[in-house]
């Protein structure tokens, strides 16, 4: 099996597993109640359902009915005077309250992300340094089909810093694949959308494996952990 065929088979296997997982998770749910979800849960649900419909379309599975927000009528709010039965619920006030709640959720998520101690901030810095160093090592080495080794190695080293280092590698790695490499592959390198999708999913999977191997505790260094991705021609110093 050549390398490109292997990548395509790996991508399909991962996507079909993900499709099965999402179908099980959202089985029977047709109208998510976004109005009563936290911001975190709403974003996760919207991302999941978008991914689910894309995978169903790709693999010819019957698509889930287009999901729309379930609008829950707000409860009546007492005003300065006694509210009579003829008065309508104060929907404007309720909508504003819901908006404020979600803004508060967003602020909480942001605070959870940045309220690090100095040692944690140092861990982020070291993880970024690991990613940057391996990126330029890969460019200098320039071995054909050697990218996976450096992807794995960078994520292993960043994740070895700790939980925050692993999360830093995940966020930055996914952002690079989703928003830079994906379009660079199509615009500058001339790949088709399908080819760019395959490359993006493959690289993200290798990144994930690098982090998982660091967290497994089975390896003493990144070179040993990522040896399965090492190809002939990579300089021994890496």
pLDDT band at 150 (very low <50, low <70, confident <90, very high): very high
Average pLDDT, the chain: 79
Top pLDDT among 61 and 17 is at 17
Give the mean pLDDT of 69-88. Answer: 41
Using the structure block, give the residue that is written with the tokens 């996507």. Answer: 15
Q: How far apart are the C-alpha atoms of 175 and 182, rounded to whole Å?
A: 10
Question: Is residue 235 predicted with pLDDT exceeding 70?
Answer: yes
Smallest CA-to-CA distance from 151 within 171, 129, 173 is with 173
What's 144's domain CATH number?
1.10.132.110
Asked if the structure places residue 80 within a domain, the reply is no
Q: What is the pLDDT of residue 103?
A: 59
Give the mean pLDDT of 214-234. Answer: 94
Question: Over the stretch 9-26, which tens digit does the pLDDT of each residue have?
Answer: 887 888 888 888 888 888
Q: In terms of domains, do 151 and 111 share one?
A: no
DSSP 212-229: HHHHHT--SSHHHHTGGG
Q: How far apart are the C-alpha atoms of 154 and 104, rounded to whole Å?
A: 35
Asked if the structure places residue 4 within a domain, the reply is no
Question: Over the stretch 81-117, which tens digit does the pLDDT of each residue have?
Answer: 444 444 444 445 555 566 556 555 655 555 555 455 6
pLDDT band at 74 (very low <50, low <70, confident <90, very high): very low
Asked if the structure places residue 74 within a domain, the reply is no
- In the chain, what percentage of residues exceed pLDDT 90? 34
Helix, strand or coil, per DSSP, at residue 190 = coil
Percent composition of the chain: helix, strand, coil (DSSP 3-state, to 5): 70, 0, 30
Q: In terms of domains, do 204 and 166 share one?
A: yes
Q: In terms of domains, do 110 and 177 share one?
A: no
Q: How far apart are the C-alpha atoms of 165 and 74, rounded to whole Å?
A: 43
Q: Can you give the pTM of this predicted structure?
A: 0.55
Distances (CA, A) of 158 to 84, 98, 128, 131, 179: 62, 39, 7, 7, 21
Q: What is the pLDDT of residue 68?
A: 41
Count of the separate structural domains present in the chain: 2
Helix, strand or coil, per DSSP, at residue 61 = coil
- Domain span at residue 125 reads 118-229
């Amino acid at each position: 099996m050549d390398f490109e065929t292997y990548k395509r088979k790996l991508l399909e296997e991962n996507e079909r597993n993900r499709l099965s997982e999402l179908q099980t998770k959202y089985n029977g749910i047709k109208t998510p109640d976004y109005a009563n979800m936290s911001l975190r849960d709403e974003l996760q649900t919207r991302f999941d359902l978008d991914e689910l419909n894309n995978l169903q379309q790709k693999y010819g599975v019957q698509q889930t009915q287009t999901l729309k927000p379930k609008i829950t009528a707000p409860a009546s709010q007492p005003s300065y005077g006694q509210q009579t039965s003829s008065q309508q619920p104060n929907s404007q006030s309720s909508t504003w309250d819901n908006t404020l709640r979600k803004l508060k959720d967003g602020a909480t998520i942001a605070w959870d992300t940045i309220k690090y101690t100095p040692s944690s901030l140092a861990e982020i810095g070291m993880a970024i340094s690991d990613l940057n160093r391996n990126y330029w090592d890969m460019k200098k080495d320039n071995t054909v089909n050697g990218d996976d080794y450096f992807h794995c190695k960078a994520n292993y080293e960043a994740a070895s810093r700790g939980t925050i280092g692993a999360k830093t590698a995940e966020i930055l790695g996914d952002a690079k694949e989703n928003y830079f490499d994906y379009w660079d592959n199509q615009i500058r390198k001339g790949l088709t959308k399908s080819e760019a999708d395959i490359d993006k999913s493959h690289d993200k999977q290798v990144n994930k494996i690098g982090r998982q191997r660091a967290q497994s505790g089975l390896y003493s260094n990144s070179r040993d952990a990522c040896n399965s991705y090492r190809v002939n021609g990579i300089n021994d110093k890496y």
